[in-house]
């Protein structure tokens, strides 16, 4: 299955400024498969070592003499390690801090060798590193579950992918194409982007086995909790995991998780799950301009899950029919999908962090689902599960922040409204004149690259 990160890997291979590459991502998002596929298509020799499966390999990295490391690995695996011809892949590198530290010396001592490393719990290991991090001596890339476009490519709907990629502001999409994409979007809501689930559907054209796959993936995540702390801490992580699945898009209230556990303990569980990329935390900011982090409140956030298909499984949502997949939970699923697309559709070398905005005022509460930076402009995004819905919060934000253009994502056809009027109820302003870019949900992954013309 094709992943967009493959293009970045090809660019990394030929770059004059190439450094050892660390690929970061949650368990089972396809890191190992993609690297092996890349190696097969681009290198004469490929050596993969797994530091979790063979703990004796840790001894190889006791020395930071990379030529000695290369000689030992060549002897152990009988695979030639040659500059420009061999890809050395160090998998599950998080279990050996010295192996992580050695990447710096591969860059300094063997710059011609292609080295990639990956690991499922890598961010926790990097956060707890006792050795100096190879800052400036490594490149990073980020992998996530398959995007909707990658899913469409996997099921051979390349024409629809082209229609999505070719869309630009002030253009439209044919109604037949729009309806076809929406049907497959609902299918993606259930299958999600975990490669094992997508591969099962591609190979079997069967939905009955998807739930079993999701169940196994969730169990593997929960088994990993044993690596994070004692039994109590594992219970907190599981409680938070299930809370997130049932509260997508809602501001976290620790008392709704447990009234007997201190909020700091639960907050730590959220942060650990964020570091493992099982969840993403969308943080509140009062800023409406670049940088969005300047007025960010890291203690106020709403969570989303790593994958919409697994989210459905944990939340207990069953597939009845593709056309009637989402019911009472459709608003949460729409928000999950859009935010997941915005995160995973980013450039592989950039880690995307999202922000949202809330206003708590008497008779004038408002919440913007997401603030999106496009170049140096910031746009408020309202996410709707249907074709209609009020835009009260969007109007309040635009009026209060003196912004001109807002974005709505829903199930309707694209439309572009200019100099629209709306009543608002904020100090010194009762009417708003604004522009509205209204796009279907499935274009969310392209938003960051889209030129907003109005």
Show me where the domains of the chain are located.
5-142, 148-275+303-338
Distance CA(134)–CA(19), nearest Å, equals 11
* 307: nearest Cα among 93, 10, 7, 30: 30
What pLDDT, on the 0 to 100 scale, is given for residue 122?
Answer: 78
pLDDT value at position 228?
A: 76
Contacts 24+ apart (CB under 8 A), 252-258: 252/300, 252/301, 252/302, 252/303
Per-residue model confidence (pLDDT) at position 426: 82
Nearest to 281 by CA among 373, 351, 363, 222: 351
CATH number of 5-142: 3.40.50.300
| SS3 category, 397 | helix
Work out the number of other CB atoms within 10 angstroms of the CB of residue 179.
12
**pLDDT at 453 (0 to 100):** 64
**pLDDT given at position 330:** 84
In which residue ranges of the chain is pLDDT below 50? 325-326
Contact, 102 vs 54, CB < 8 A?
no
Question: Is residue 52 classed exposed, middle or buried when 0-12, 13-18 and 19+ CB atoms within 10 A define those classes?
Answer: middle
3-class DSSP state for residue 168? coil
Work out the number of other CB atoms within 10 angstroms of the CB of residue 318. Answer: 9
**pLDDT, position 19:** 96
pLDDT the model gives residue 443: 96
Q: What is the pTM of this model?
A: 0.93
- Residue 374: strand, helix, or coil: strand
* Paired strand residues for 431: 423
Q: Which helix (H) or strand (E) holds 56?
A: none
């Amino acid at each position: 299955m094709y992943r967009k990160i493959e293009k970045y890997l090809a660019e990394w291979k030929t770059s004059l400024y190439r450094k050892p590459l660390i690929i970061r991502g949650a368990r089972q998002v396809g890191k190992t498969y993609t690297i092996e596929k890349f190696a097969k298509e681009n290198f004469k020799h490929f050596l993969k070592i797994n530091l979790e499966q063979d703990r004796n390999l840790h001894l190889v990295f006791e020395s930071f003499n990379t030529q000695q490391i290369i000689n030992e690995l060549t002897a152990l695996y009988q695979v030639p390690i040659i500059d420009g011809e061999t890809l050395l892949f160090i998998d599950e590198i998080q279990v050996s801090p010295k192996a992580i530290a050695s990447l710096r010396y591969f860059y300094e001592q063997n710059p011609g060798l292609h080295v990639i490393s990956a690991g499922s719990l890598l961010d926790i290991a990097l956060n707890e590193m006792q050795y100096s991090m190879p800052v400036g001596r490594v490149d990073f890339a980020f992998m996530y579950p398959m995007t909707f476009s990658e899913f469409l490519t996997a099921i051979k709907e390349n024409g629809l992918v082209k229609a999505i990629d070719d869309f630009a502001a002030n253009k439209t999409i044919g109604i037949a194409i729009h309806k076809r994409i929406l049907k497959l979007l609902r299918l993606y809501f259930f299958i999600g982007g975990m490669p094992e689930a997508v591969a099962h559907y591609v190979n079997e054209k069967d939905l009955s086995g998807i739930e079993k796959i999701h169940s196994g993936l969730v169990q593997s995540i929960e088994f990993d909790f044993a690596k994070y702390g004692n039994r109590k801490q594992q219970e907190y992580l599981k409680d938070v995991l299930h809370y997130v699945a049932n509260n997508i898009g809602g501001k976290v209230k620790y008392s709704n998780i447990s009234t007997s556990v201190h909020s700091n303990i639960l907050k730590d569980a959220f942060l650990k799950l964020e570091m493992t990329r099982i969840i993403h935390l969308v943080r509140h900011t009062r800023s409406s301009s670049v940088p969005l982090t300047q007025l960010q409140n890291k203690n106020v956030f709403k969570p989303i899950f790593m994958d919409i298909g697994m989210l459905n499984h944990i939340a207990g949502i069953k597939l009845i029919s593709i056309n009637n997949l989402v019911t009472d939970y459709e608003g949460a699923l729409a928000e999950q999908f859009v935010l997941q697309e915005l995160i995973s559709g980013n450039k592989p070398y950039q880690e995307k962090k999202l922000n949202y905005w809330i206003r708590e005022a008497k008779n004038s509460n408002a919440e913007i689902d997401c603030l999106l930076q496009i170049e140096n402009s910031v746009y408020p995004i309202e996410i709707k599960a249907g074709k209609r819905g009020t835009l009260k919060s969007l109007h309040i934000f635009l009026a209060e922040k003196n912004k001109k253009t807002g974005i709505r994502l829903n199930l309707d056809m694209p439309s572009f409204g200019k100099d629209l009027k709306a009543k608002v109820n904020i100090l010194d302003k009762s009417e708003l004149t604004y522009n509205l870019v209204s796009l279907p949900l499935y274009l969310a992954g392209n938003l960051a690259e889209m030129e907003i013309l109005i």
